[in-house]
Amino acid sequence: MLSLDSIRQAEARIRPLVHRTPVITSRTFDEAAGRRVFFKCENFQRAGAFKMRGATNKILSLSGEERARGVVAFSSGNHAQAVALASRDAGVRAVIVMPTDAPRTKMAATKGYGAEVVTYDRQREDREEVARRLSEREGLTVVPPFDDYEVIAGQGTCALELFEDVPDLEALLTPCGGGGLFAGASTAAKALRTGVRCFPVESELSDDTRQSLMKGERVTIPPPATIADGMRTQTPGALTFPVLRRNAEDVLLVSEDEIVEALRFILFRMKILVEPTGAVAAAAALFGKLPRGVGRVGVLLSGGNVDPEALARFVHPSLA
């Protein structure tokens, strides 16, 4: 189960292996946003994103026997690199299932952390099926990207740190893909500060969580074409959805242009690099998506892994 206790246990477990990331502020951003914003910088996290927290907590929670057999994950993004690095830290074998057409840089980074990469044909095979087969044949434990209580508790530790550093926040904004980060962070936030208002933020092109909350049940959308690749999930998780229902006051939506504008603002004015998904919650603050009267806001900058080609396009579209 998910609780402040399980998040505190996760925090104690992963502390030696993750960075306590800084909370930064920017007068320029505050002036533009019209409120006081506190950025939790998970782009500075090991492997470049908050995913390191959940992966580490999951792997350190395995039994000795499970660890001896190893783990498997399917991802071509930050979760892959996090599972690879967390496994190396723990001395555990990791197999990562990626599509044959995954970006070379991401494959190289995952292998660089010592993981084995198994590719599959995106057109002809189902990645979960491939991972399940591997899991059964070789006894590997699956490390899910979000729908797992140990993973969710791990992600929640970033809110624990944020509220320790800035106890009097009135609201918390997180990007929302499968909902793991929001579920963990909002659970910690609400336990630490009564009445704090929690908002998951999605791209307009990837509003499965918003649709699901409006309908009262998990809705599956077609593969979304958003540049925020961390939110290309098509439906909230079975475990995260009830937490979203309980803790989300509203789902905020931002456009693709607003995401790129926020990324550029953070890069050129604040001098730090976030990936598009990492800019989503900041975009909601910057472009007035919050209800009136919310003063001090915590914003999760979830990650900073961007390909050079993609970054060149974001910063100077006419070169693309």
272 binds a copy of itself (CB under 8 A): yes
Q: Identify the CA nearest to 154 among candidates 302, 304, 6.
A: 6
127 binds a copy of itself (CB under 8 A): no
312 binds a copy of itself (CB under 8 A): yes
Distance CA 33, CA 282 (A): 9
Q: Identify the CA nearest to 251 among candidates 221, 293, 217, 281.
A: 281
Structure tokens at 250: 């509203």
289 is catalytic: no
316 binds a copy of itself (CB under 8 A): yes
Distance CA 79, CA 144 (A): 9
> Is the CB of 10 or the CB of 306 nearer to a copy of itself?
306
Q: Which residues contact 297 (CB under 8 A, 6 or more apart)?
A: 35, 36, 37, 38, 169, 170, 171, 172, 173, 285, 290
> Is the CB of 4 or the CB of 24 nearer to a copy of itself?
24
264 binds a copy of itself (CB under 8 A): yes
One-letter amino acid of 187: T
Q: Which of residues 45-74 bind a copy of itself (CB under 8 A)?
A: 48
> Is the CB of 23 or the CB of 192 nearer to a copy of itself?
23
Which part of the chain contacts a copy of itself (CB under 8 A), choosing from 180-188, 241-249, 266-274, 279-287? 266-274
Select the residue interacting with a copy of itself from 152, 274, 284, 299 (CB under 8 A): 274
Structure tokens at 311: 């970054």
268 binds a copy of itself (CB under 8 A): yes
Angle 144-20-79 from CA coordinates, rounded to 5°: 20
Binding site for a copy of itself (CB under 8 A): 22, 43-44, 48, 264, 267-268, 271-274, 304, 306, 308-309, 311-313, 315-316, 319-320
Active site residues: 51, 76
